[in-house]
Structure 1
């Protein structure tokens, strides 16, 4: 067991990249775990700065009504930036959780299945898989499910835009792993009620995963039974 942990630590250190202190590596992981929310944060801050500057100029010229309106818009964009960062923090937590599951129980496609519901969660899962040397297999699995780079919106919001204001959806997005409820339509993969831990086999270890003939990729990608899974998954309407 100690040997397996040392090997897992070496793999993680190699994936993290050479150079830099622990804080630098943590910051890089935080940015890479949720690139889309971070880009959205930068755009929202730019918009807030623009409307705030125009509003300040409107106040100086005596247009109070326009100034207050522009100030409200700037405040809205600031709130959007805060929500984007809250989303990024949640995805970083999920990345750490998925990585811990992979190191403790081996690479498991059922964990990826739970994380396939949105672009941000897939990015976090890909980073976790990459740090154990399985990013290519994880990317291939998501492609088999029918996901591409252009699928940015979560599955629940793509099927029903009003779900964006649903209490359960917001709870799942910003408090992952705490009482997750179903947010899927027909053909979608349901979330696991008890979180990621319920989606992985309890007795699989890193040594067992490494000794398996199919340890390099998810079992469903190589075995015949995956065709029936893919036929009922998101790939059916994402081709």
Structure 2
């Protein structure tokens, strides 16, 4: 991985949010690449329950300031940054007061999914791309983890298809065990279609449940990692039918060499 550039885009990352399957791997995989000589950037949403003072987040004025259009609404993009102590790893946070100021991640105090989670996911995907463009940092691999990050492959392959910075980038999507019950807003498909993304590419979003969203992500990726150990057979068969490299589930203790080998022999040309 020496000098290879890997962009990690995740819904949640330790130590900024509590440990889950996704947040643990979203920290350990970048650390592995870092140790093997790769260059990394990590992006995640700046949820309101992240303690900015404790983690020393600060706004990057030169990257902030633009508006992103979400379902015909102009939403201001704010970029913050912090460093993971002792790891020499920088994390960029996508922020917007309307979408991320609330003191929780995906659900309210009753455990109900926020009704605008679909718009938050669209904003996050666009925000990552626009920020990486400003950084002028062309990644060799873009590794997507977590459902709120899962629209990024679709937007890169369709909405940003003519963006030269990502012309050689390979997209890897990790699919974890089921992350939420129910569905996101049933008009999600219309909000994505607003960005002139063809209907055939988002048909699964007619029912925007967890695995349908992940199917859209996998369909627009160059490789898939089955990161959950309890995935339904349907999603396993679906990913295997795509004709792209698929890494089967690997236990935590064995992931480092397995991921490194997958990146270097299956994903990169």
Task: Please report the TM-score for the alignment, with normalisation by the length of structure 2.
Answer: 0.24
Larger radius of gyration: 1
Structure whose residues are more often strand by fraction: 2
| Higher-RCO chain (CA-CA 8 Å, sequence separation at least 6) | 1
Structure whose residues are more often helix by fraction: 1
